[in-house]
Amino acid sequence: MAGESSLELRSIVTSGAKLEMSLETVAVPEPKDDEVLIRVEAAPINPSDLGLLIGPADVSTLEVTGSGNNVKATMDIPEAMMGAMQARMDQSLPAGNEGAGIVVAAGANAQALIGETVGVAGGSMYSQFRCVAASNCLVMNEGTSAAEGASCFVNPLTALGMVETMKMENHSALVHTAAASNLGQMLVKICLADEVQLVNIVRKTEHVELLKSLGAVHVCNSSDPGFMTELIDALVATGATVAFDATGGGKLAGQILTAMEVAANKTAKEYSRYGSTTHKQVYIYGGLDRSPTTFNRAFGMAWGIGGWLLTPFIQKVGQDKFQELRQRVADEIKTTFASHYTREVSLAEALSADAIKAYAKQATGEKYLIMPHK
Amino acid sequence: MAGESSLELRSIVTSGAKLEMSLETVAVPEPKDDEVLIRVEAAPINPSDLGLLIGPADVSTLEVTGSGNNVKATMDIPEAMMGAMQARMDQSLPAGNEGAGIVVAAGANAQALIGETVGVAGGSMYSQFRCVAASNCLVMNEGTSAAEGASCFVNPLTALGMVETMKMENHSALVHTAAASNLGQMLVKICLADEVQLVNIVRKTEHVELLKSLGAVHVCNSSDPGFMTELIDALVATGATVAFDATGGGKLAGQILTAMEVAANKTAKEYSRYGSTTHKQVYIYGGLDRSPTTFNRAFGMAWGIGGWLLTPFIQKVGQDKFQELRQRVADEIKTTFASHYTREVSLAEALSADAIKAYAKQATGEKYLIMPHK
């Protein structure tokens, strides 16, 4: 491969308050002793990729110029958000948290991986070739394609991480919002298999039906007028005291805590002046709703809201557990952890105006897969 | 004492959406083997007492009828808040988290305490006589009056608990809001003595001066136009990554997290797409600002906001540490842990319209002490 070139997607914030996405050609790297070179065949665009790809840029100002591999997408960044951009200013950053491909070269200690289809959370996966540590690769089972393995990390391990976090923090059931997402569907299947009670919160009637068709027991629609009552009933039935919220903004996190408090007090024998002593926790792991988070603290004093991110979870859970979870993903990649894509695009097509507008929306059921060699 | 009667303050929520405060006469209880009977001489009205005393009642609707020990104060409770009141409905509840007095009788195993001045977080302290477990009493040193020892629990242990929580959760400096309060002044003195760096947030210029006169180094005034810059500078100087917020509502908690994130990124060497990896925590331990809490999550993913309450902290810290902290309070009750009161009132005077309106405001520097035998 030495001497060949690799195309990769880049995002840059300029001091002129612009965000630019473009393609760069770089030399194919040479794997070191413990590394492998992957020919990347497929890499999904996850919500967690958008922070780096698009950041706080205003998609309504999008302009796309050039064509083919010279395409360039430009957007304005609101002036108020520029302060938070200082650390990445004027740096051309590669993107793409995860993907899958074929190992086409390997260092001295990783020769056994040559020819294998592997999934990896390597960063910079919107590239034609990517060099990563062999130990980071999840080898797919015989018969798994790169497209099938492309989303083997972020969503599967986040879903598994929610269930593990629930157990580690002594909760016995959990709540999930934006529950009809790819990740949400995985979580429904995991919870059914592992006999963990799950309360799903969705925003549309068709999503209630989708999740029920997968076997979900508790599905509450936040657009229903009776949402709070439904949610309280589901919390009483399951005893869920931890929630994972993909929306982040608005009132939902506070509504969940309030419903948990009401559910806890329904079984309380005595008035407690500071509210129920049951600890109620909401972890915000996404920002589908960009509006401010707001809540009225009508849920006693035993509560927490916080950010939840996969990487610190993996550090906390330890290497053995992490390997066990990864192997489960490889073994169930066509069932529990199957992902669905609405579009497969080349690197250049990923920078078309239509594509950017579509994936920036993060609509449930809309998902793009980049095929760097298409 | 048997056969004598004791006057005590009660609060009740009626199904007619009224909150009533009145005085009840009860029989003086007889101490069991491990109990003591305290003649309560002084009990403060803390913000943490108001939840039970006044709850969500609307003070602007206050009506006071009767006189002397037959006084009754009545307020309306907004209909929307009645759901949260179910657990205390129609129960006449005694109030007063803490106070001090003289042990006037004791059970067989607690005779040694007779005649001692003790402080106790016994609940129901707005009473003339109170029976509590001897082990709950903090014996005051020779020369300490009941009035001096009345606030020996809630504020001192909360202030000490903040510093201990900071240490237990691996932060190295802390932030405190509403920092000119009695509690805030204690915290300034503790941090000076223990060489812990503290960032104080106040809302008035005179409070900046007050805290500086006590030796406080970092005092930021949230009413200043340059507040965020001041706060960021203080956070860079101290490295504080945990805050204790008495206000609860509004934007302050989010501003603190945002300033912590900016401070953390000022020293960051590389752009991190999910923000700084430093965990930033705000604990809300009061609700001086009753408006909704609102924040825009411009502080990465490593953050938490949660309730903080003294009782779970004491359970967590263990008996030995708790005793050590209590003894420090007794030893420093006239210095580090001295409280200042603006008014000393009898039980009946505590139910006057003027008094209720004054302490319901929870204004910094305004503090009432109930003297049940006045």
Tell me which chain A residues have a C-beta less than 8 angstroms from the C-beta of B271. 87-88, 91, 93
Mean pLDDT (whole number) for B329-343:
95
- Report the alpha-carbon distance of residue B189 to residue B156 in Å, rounded: 11
Q: In what order do the strands lie in the sheet with A58-65?
A: A58-65, A72-76, A18-27, A5-14, A93-94
What does the pLDDT read at residue A269?
67
CB contact under 8 A, A262 and B83: yes
In this prediction, the answer to ipTM > 0.90 reads no
Chain A interface, best mutation among B92, B301, B305, B313, by max A CB count within 10 A: B301
Residue of chain A nearest B277, judged by CA positions: A312
Mean pLDDT (whole number) for B250-274:
86
Give the phi and the psi of residue A278 in degrees, each rounded to 5.
-70, 125
What does the pLDDT read at residue A80?
84
pLDDT in tens, chain A (374 residues): 556 899 999 999 998 999 999 999 999 999 999 999 999 999 999 988 998 999 889 999 999 999 999 999 999 999 988 877 887 899 999 999 999 999 999 999 999 999 999 999 989 999 999 999 999 999 999 999 999 999 999 999 999 999 999 999 999 999 999 999 999 999 999 999 999 999 999 999 999 999 999 999 999 999 999 999 999 999 999 999 999 999 999 999 999 999 999 999 887 766 676 788 899 999 999 988 989 999 999 898 999 999 999 999 999 999 999 999 999 999 999 999 999 899 999 999 999 999 999 999 877 778 999 999 99
Contact B146, B117 (CB under 8 A): yes
Out of B91, B302, B307, the one facing A303 most closely (by C-beta) is B307
Tell me which chain A residues have a C-beta less than 8 angstroms from the C-beta of B295. 292-293
Tell me which chain A residues have a C-beta less than 8 angstroms from the C-beta of B242. none
Tell me which chain B residues have a C-beta less than 8 angstroms from the C-beta of A294. 292-294
CA distances from A41 to A46, A53, A126, A344, A346 (A): 16, 20, 10, 11, 10
Residue of chain B nearest A302, judged by CA positions: B307
Out of B52, B293, B296, the one facing A297 most closely (by C-beta) is B293
Residue of chain A nearest B53, judged by CA positions: A273
What does the pLDDT read at residue A67?
93
Distance from CA of B206 to the nearest CA of A (A): 30
Tell me which chain B residues have a C-beta less than 8 angstroms from the C-beta of A285. 301
- Report the alpha-carbon distance of residue B113 to residue B137 in Å, rounded: 9
What does the pLDDT read at residue B274?
73
Distance from CA of B320 to the nearest CA of A (A): 23
CB contact under 8 A, A305 and B302: no
What does the pLDDT read at residue B210?
97
Which residues of A have a CB under 8 Å from any CB of B? 51-52, 83-84, 86-88, 91, 93, 248-249, 254, 262, 265, 268, 270-274, 277, 284-285, 287, 292-298, 300-309, 311-312
Contact A246, A187 (CB under 8 A): no
Contact B9, B96 (CB under 8 A): yes
Q: Mind listing the pLDDT tens digit for each residue in B42-96?
A: 999 998 899 899 988 999 999 999 999 999 999 999 998 887 788 789 999 999 9
Chain B interface, best mutation among A19, A49, A244, A273, by max B CB count within 10 A: A273
Chain A interface, best mutation among B244, B297, B314, by max A CB count within 10 A: B297
Q: Which of A125, A182, A116, A165 is nearest to A144 (CA)?
A: A116
What does the pLDDT read at residue B90?
92
Out of A51, A271, A312, the one facing B87 most closely (by C-beta) is A271
Tell me which chain B residues have a C-beta less than 8 angstroms from the C-beta of A83. 262
Which residues of B have a CB under 8 Å from any CB of A? 51-52, 83-84, 86-88, 91, 93, 248-249, 254, 262, 265, 268, 270-274, 277, 284-285, 287, 292-298, 300-309, 311-312
- Report the alpha-carbon distance of residue A28 to residue A23 in Å, rounded: 15
Alpha helices in B41-131 (DSSP H): 47-53
CB contact under 8 A, B287 and A297: yes
Q: Is the pLDDT of residue B2 over 70?
A: no
Distance from CA of A304 to the nearest CA of B (A): 4
Tell me which chain A residues have a C-beta less than 8 angstroms from the C-beta of B93. 271
Q: Which of B284, B21, B243 is nearest to A275 (CA)?
A: B284
What type of residue is B277?
T
Chain B interface, best mutation among A10, A158, A297, A313, by max B CB count within 10 A: A297
Tell me which chain A residues have a C-beta less than 8 angstroms from the C-beta of B306. 303-306
**Coil, strand or helix: which one is B58?**
strand
Q: Mind listing the pLDDT tens digit for each residue in B349-365?
A: 999 999 999 999 877 77
* pLDDT classification of B3: cutoffs 50, 70, 90: low
- Report the alpha-carbon distance of residue B42 to residue B93 in Å, rounded: 19
DSSP B172: S
CB contact under 8 A, A312 and B297: no
* Torsion angle of C-alpha atoms A264, A270, A271, A277, degrees rounded to 10: -40
CB contact under 8 A, A292 and B293: no
Q: Is the pLDDT of residue B121 over 70?
A: yes
Distance from CA of B279 to the nearest CA of A (A): 9
Which range among B37-46, B94-103, B258-267 shows the weakest confidence by mean pLDDT? B258-267
Contact A358, A49 (CB under 8 A): no
Out of B87, B272, B287, the one facing A268 most closely (by C-beta) is B87
Tell me which chain B residues have a C-beta less than 8 angstroms from the C-beta of A52. 273
CB contact under 8 A, B87 and A51: no
Distance from CA of B325 to the nearest CA of A (A): 23
CB contact under 8 A, A277 and B312: yes
**Coil, strand or helix: which one is B157?**
helix
Q: Which of A96, A97, A88 is nearest to A19 (CA)?
A: A88
Q: Mind listing the pLDDT tens digit for each residue in B148-164?
A: 999 999 999 999 999 99
Out of B248, B274, B294, the one facing A309 most closely (by C-beta) is B274
Residue of chain B nearest A273, judged by CA positions: B52
Tell me which chain B residues have a C-beta less than 8 angstroms from the C-beta of A249. 297
**Coil, strand or helix: which one is B141?**
coil
Distance from CA of A301 to the nearest CA of B (A): 5
**Coil, strand or helix: which one is A335?**
coil
Tell me which chain B residues have a C-beta less than 8 angstroms from the C-beta of A300. 307
Tell how strand B138-139 and strand B117-120 pair up: antiparallel
| Ranges assigned E (strand) in chain B | 5-14, 18-27, 35-44, 58-65, 72-76, 93-94, 99-106, 117-120, 129-133, 138-139, 173-177, 197-202, 218-221, 242-245, 248-250, 280-284, 289-295, 303-307, 343-345, 368-370
- Report the alpha-carbon distance of residue A127 to residue A40 in Å, rounded: 7
Alpha helices in chain B (DSSP H): 47-53, 146-149, 154-168, 182-194, 205-213, 227-238, 252-266, 310-317, 319-331, 353-360
CB contact under 8 A, B93 and A271: yes
Q: Is the pLDDT of residue B245 over 60?
A: yes
- Report the alpha-carbon distance of residue A248 to residue B296 in Å, rounded: 9
Residue of chain B nearest A283, judged by CA positions: B304
What does the pLDDT read at residue B172?
97
Alpha helices in B267-339 (DSSP H): 310-317, 319-331
Out of A84, A273, A306, the one facing B51 most closely (by C-beta) is A273
How many residue pairs from chains A and B have C-beta atoms closer than 8 A?
Answer: 94
Q: Which of A241, A236, A260 is nearest to A171 (CA)?
A: A241
What does the pLDDT read at residue A290?
87
